[in-house]
Structure 1
Amino acid sequence: MFEIVLFPIDRSRQAAETASFALKLAKQHESRLVVLSVVEPGQDDPAAVAALLEQARGRFEEQGVSCEVLEREGKPAFVICDVADEINADVIVMGTRGLSLEAEDAPSTASRVIQLAPCPVMVVP
């Protein structure tokens, strides 16, 4: 059912917890798993992002799921949706809130992705 699963990741605790759900889904459906990290210009350390992606790849591969890792630059919600469209993702799996905890009344990245996504979005609480 889900041939391609897109899993956007950041350094938040919630993203780490959501990884378990993405792993389970990819295993269950024998999906191609794509792990994406979006670097916001001037806000993220490129070395930390690269380390995060390699750590994620290692965690998934230890569990028997190979994955592709992508690093892109830009506004997270827009980049996530663009990548989902580009790779023809069947589903995006993400947490409700990541590191970009903006003002309390500002919409989260997850809510923006839900509005803009070209495919279903599974938001893990």
Structure 2
Amino acid sequence: MFKTVLFPIDQTRESRQAAEVVANVVKTYSSRLIILSVVEIPEEGESTNPEMTSAAAIAKLLEDAKTLFQSEGINSETIERQGKPAFTICDVADEIEADLIIMGCRGIGLTEEGVTDSVSNRVINLSPCPVLVVP
């Protein structure tokens, strides 16, 4: 049913918590797991968090995630991209023909003010496949 699962990650607690659900789904369906990290390119005048954009930090994040899944007996592939997170996640899902996207959620999209800023809300609306959001 879910041959290919896309797991977009960042350095949030919510991403780490979603990893358990990802492991369960991937094991249950013997899925191919793709771990994605999107480095957001700031628009002119926006400040960035150097921790979130450092190539070394992203490489470590992806390697740590891969190691975590390996310890569960799950092989995974990693992809690093630059761009707007929601659009990039959906583009990659389309490219790899993902059957499911599993992602963590900070909950900011649950308020009216946060709806337009929520990456998970945008992914739900743009995704070429089902999206499982782990609160």
Flag whether TM exceeds 0.5 (same fold): yes
Give the letter aligned to residue 51 of structure 1. Answer: K
Equivalent residues of 1:11, 1:52 under 8 A apart: yes
RMSD: 1.5
Alignment partner, residue 66 of structure 2:
57
Alignment partner, residue 85 of structure 1:
94
Give the letter aligned to residue 53 of structure 1. Answer: L
Equivalent residues of 1:8, 1:80 under 8 A apart: yes
Structure 1, residues 23-71: CA drift from partner, whole Å, max 9, x if none? 1100110000000000012531111010000000000011100000000
Structure 1, residues 60-104: CA drift from partner, whole Å, max 9, x if none? 011100000000000000000000000000000001229xxxxx4
Alpha-carbon separation, structure 2, partners of 1:10 and 1:46: 13
Give the letter aligned to residue 130 of structure 2. Answer: P
Structure 1 SS opposite 2:117: coil
1:120 matches 2:130? yes
Structure 2 SS opposite 1:36: strand
Unaligned runs of 5+ in 2: 43-47, 108-112
Alpha-carbon separation, structure 2, partners of 1:97 and 1:36: 18
1:66 matches 2:52? no
1:47 matches 2:53? no
Aligned length: 121
Larger Rg: 2
Identity among equivalent positions (%) equals: 53
